[in-house]
Each structure stands twice: as C-alpha cells, then as structure tokens.
Amino acid sequence: MTSKLEQLRSMTTVVADTGDIEAVARLKPVDCTTNPTIVLKALGTPTFGDAVKEAITWGKSQNGGSDAVIAAVADRLAISVGAALANIVPGRVSTEVDADLSFDTEASIAKARGIIAAYKERGIDRDRVLIKLASTWEGIKAAEVLQTEGIDCNLTLLFSKAQAVACADAKVFLISPFVGRILDWYKKSTGQEYTAETDPGVISVRQIYNYYKANGIETIVMGASFRNAGEIEALAGCDRLTISPALLDELDKDQGKLERKLSPDNITEDPFQPIDEKTFRWMLNEDAMATEKLAEGIRSFAKDLVALREMVKKELAAA
C-alpha cells in the first residue's frame, strides 16, 4: 500500500504551505504558498542569511532609512523567499500583497504589478507566480483587473460562500478557503468538538467546490489552513490542497487507504448566484464567523508585515 500522501497526489494537486527550503526539496510539492508569517519565519533561518545581507546592502545603496526604502527592502526579501521556492517547485509560488492594502483596490493592483516585475528581474515569469490578495471586496476587484492583464491571483482569507461567489464572478485563478480557522471559530463559539465529517471548515470547502463544479466555474479550489490530517483526508479530491510540512510528513508515514471525497463526477445541483457589492457586504456581515476571521487574518498578516519592516529597519541601522 502506498502512503496516504502518494494516494492524495493521485487525486489532488499537493501544495506546500511553507518557506522551508529543505522541507520543500524533500516533500516535492507542485506549488508553494507563502504569506507574511511564513516569509518572516523563513528569513530567520540560515538558508536566507545571504538574501538578507544582499537586501540590506541594496537598501543602504538607496540611502536606506526612509519608510519607502524599508518597505522596498521588505518586498525584496519576500521576493527572495518566493524566488528560492520557485527554483525548487515545478509549478507556482504565491506571494502576498501587503495586508494593509486589503481595502485599497488601486494600491493592490499597483503592488501586484510590482511583485510580478520583481520576479521578472530574477528571471521568473508571471506564469510561475500567483498574487495573493485578501478576499475583501476591494481585493476581489483588484484580482478582477489583474486577471485581465494575465496576472493570476490567489484569493486568500476566504471563509464564506459569498466570498467564493464574488471570486468566481471576478474570474480569479484560484481561491484558498481556510478550513482550520473556520473550525477554530466554531469550537470556541460552541464549545463542541467536531469529527472530520462534521468539521464546519470541511463542510464549507465541500459546498464551495460543489457550487463551482455545478456551474462550470473554472476557478481552482485550494483548501488551506489545516489543523489535522483528518481535515485533509475529508477533502481528498479537491482541486488543490496547501499543507504544512508537518502534516505532509504525517500523511507520508500513514499507509492506510485514502478514500476520495470530492469529485466533479459527484455533484449536486446548486444554482448560479451572481453577486454585487451590496449583496456581498450584507452576506458577509450576516456571517459572524467569516467577518471575524477575515478581519483577524488581515490584522495578523499586517502585524507580521510590520515585524518584517521593523527587522529591516534595525538591520539597515546596524549596517
């Protein structure tokens, strides 16, 4: 019997949610996803010591010290992590637009174009990159514009069907519904424990997957933010799943049988529901979990972005 990880690969594109170069080389995912938290953690390892020195040296050459230069150096470091991953995986690397731009469509578009240009300078074409944007209305509208320019987007911090429907309308390349964070909210809210089959995060992704397939929507569904291997197994067959190295290792060691749970051949009818801004905002407002987790996620990523810039500021001052 092959491992559950190998069985999963036969039905789902496996993506690694990490900036750990050694883990990626060992586990051989197709794609990698990053975010400010992952980038900050990666830059604290010896692997990226030279990248940090190069970025700081570059920053000093730009008369480093201003907020603009500090932000530019932080961007350079995020691209360094993404470029290193792109040199290992055969597919795509996701790089996130600054969380503090989550409610600014035009600034998000400009930032995304800058990220693509920065990768191009390192010889990495746009078809190897996914731009990550928070699934706010403004983030989705930014993605809609970027997609028309051939810049594929990964809409993250997605917790509700309303967000998924808006992303489909915008024809985004990929969405990342967050399974574990939905479970966290429900466990805290209800005080209950959940099985893989009753897990609210799993149920949410299954519903979104069904809606997309029932309506011929090409946007890729990539489950993310897993708390345990059971959640992953319950979504076997999903288009893609982005998984931490620890859970990839756990699946790799498990020789049990993995049953396919999601398939485009097993879909129930779910009528198409176009969504406008007013409806989107109302539906999100009525979903306490989605509203709270979206806001919390943006705050968390913004906090790590600030921490990265503070690290850059100290390094520039010391150089």
Q: Which residues are catalytic?
A: 132
Separation of alpha carbons 262 and 41, rounded Å = 33
One DSSP character per residue, the chain reads ---HHHHHHTTSEEEEE---HHHHHHH--SEEE--HHHHHHHHTSGGGHHHHHHHHHHHHHTTBTBHHHHHHHHHHHHHHHHHHHHTT-SS-EEEEPPGGGTT-HHHHHHHHHHHHHHHHHTT--GGGEEEEEESSHHHHHHHHHHHHTT--EEEEEE-SHHHHHHHHHTT-SEEEEBHHHHHHHHHHHH-----TTT-HHHHHHHHHHHHHHHTT--PEEEEB--SSHHHHHTTTTSSEEEE-HHHHHHHHH--S-------TTS----------HHHHHHHHHH-HHHHHHHHHHHHHHHHHHHHHHHHHHHHHHH-
